Chains A and B, each alone.
Chain A
Amino acid sequence: EPEVTQTPSHQVTQMGQEVILRCVPISNHLYFYWYRQILGQKVEFLVSFYNNEISEKSEIFDDQFSVERPDGSNFTLKIRSTKLEDSAMYFCASSELGGRAANTGELFFGEGSRLTVL
């Protein structure tokens, strides 16, 4: 069964360092997302990406964050200068159709990348 894959599964970094989290969405999917979950809390939307550009981003997704799809298969989230409060599980998700479509637009989530900022 096709799945969304994420690397690394766990990354530990020092505050102020740059981090890149990688995702390989399901191959025929067109919409890509990053969500994050601080330990024990709810899942929060960060950004959605379609047609090689950001379609929506949340207040959390400030100038320290960026996304790109460098090679048509990977979808990356970069945090330029990590802060302690960036420690969280980051989930990549993809959908065949966006939520606005008549079909389900169901999101499929990856296993997550746990980021620990020291």
Chain B
Amino acid sequence: ELKVEQNPLFLSMQEGKNYTIYCNYSTTSDRLYWYRQDPGKSLESLFVLLSNGAVKQEGRLMASLDTKARLSTLHITAAVHDLSATYFCAVESQGGSEKLVFGKGTKLTVNP
């Protein structure tokens, strides 16, 4: 059974600092997604990572995927307050399944 672990679950950081959120998963998959969720809101798609070594960047966020290590990272560069949200990684089950298995989420708070 596919399990997805994110860490840290809570992250409080100062504006301007860098940090990385980690997403590990337990079984083979080559599709991983990162979502952002603001309180009480829906899931906003940030990145779709489809292959080993994939790296995508959007603004201050950069995501990468290492399928051999079963690890994805979401790197935050020079954080700003607007990035405060909960970030979820989700991994697609293989073997014919279509479902996404989500991590527990990382609640990021960026302090001025």
A-to-B contact residues, CB < 8 Å: 31, 33, 35, 41-45, 48, 55-56, 58, 91, 98-100, 104-112
The number of chain B residues with a CB under 8 A from chain A is 22
Q: Contacts A99-B31, A106-B33 given; indicate if A112 touches B42 (C-beta within 8 A).
A: yes
B62 contacts across to A, CB distance below 8 A: none
Tell me whether A109 and B97 are in contact (CB under 8 A): no
Q: Across the two chains, which residue of chain A brings its CB closest to B6?
A: A42
Q: How far is the CA of A56 from the CA of B42 in the complex (A)?
A: 23
Q: How far is the CA of A112 from the CA of B35 in the complex (A)?
A: 15
Q: How far is the CA of A56 from the CA of B104 in the complex (A)?
A: 22
B104 contacts across to A, CB distance below 8 A: 41-42
B97 contacts across to A, CB distance below 8 A: 56, 99
Q: 1/0 per residue B88-107: CB within 8 Å of A?
A: 10101000111111111100
Q: Across the two chains, which residue of chain B brings its CB closest to A49?
A: B98
Q: Contacts A42-B88, A42-B103, A99-B92 given; indicate if A108 touches B45 (C-beta within 8 A).
A: yes
Tell me whether B102 and A44 are in contact (CB under 8 A): yes
Tell me whether B99 and A111 are in contact (CB under 8 A): no
A110 contacts across to B, CB distance below 8 A: 42
Q: How far is the CA of A108 from the CA of B35 in the complex (A)?
A: 10
**Closest beta carbon of chain B to A107's beta carbon, Å:** 7
Q: How far is the CA of A53 from the CA of B19 in the complex (A)?
A: 43
Tell me whether B33 and A43 are in contact (CB under 8 A): no
Tell me whether B103 and A58 are in contact (CB under 8 A): no
Q: Is B78 an interface residue (CB 8 A)?
A: no
Q: Contacts A104-B48, A111-B41, A111-B42 given; indicate if A42 touches B100 (C-beta within 8 A).
A: no
Tell me whether B90 and A43 are in contact (CB under 8 A): yes
Q: Is B83 an interface residue (CB 8 A)?
A: no
Q: 1/0 per residue B4-39: CB within 8 Å of A?
A: 000000000000000000000000000101010000
Q: A99-B100, A106-B48, A109-B45 are in contact. List 16 more A-B contacts (CB 8 A).
A: A35-B100, A42-B104, A42-B105, A43-B43, A43-B90, A43-B102, A48-B98, A91-B42, A99-B31, A100-B96, A100-B98, A105-B92, A106-B45, A107-B33, A107-B100, A112-B42
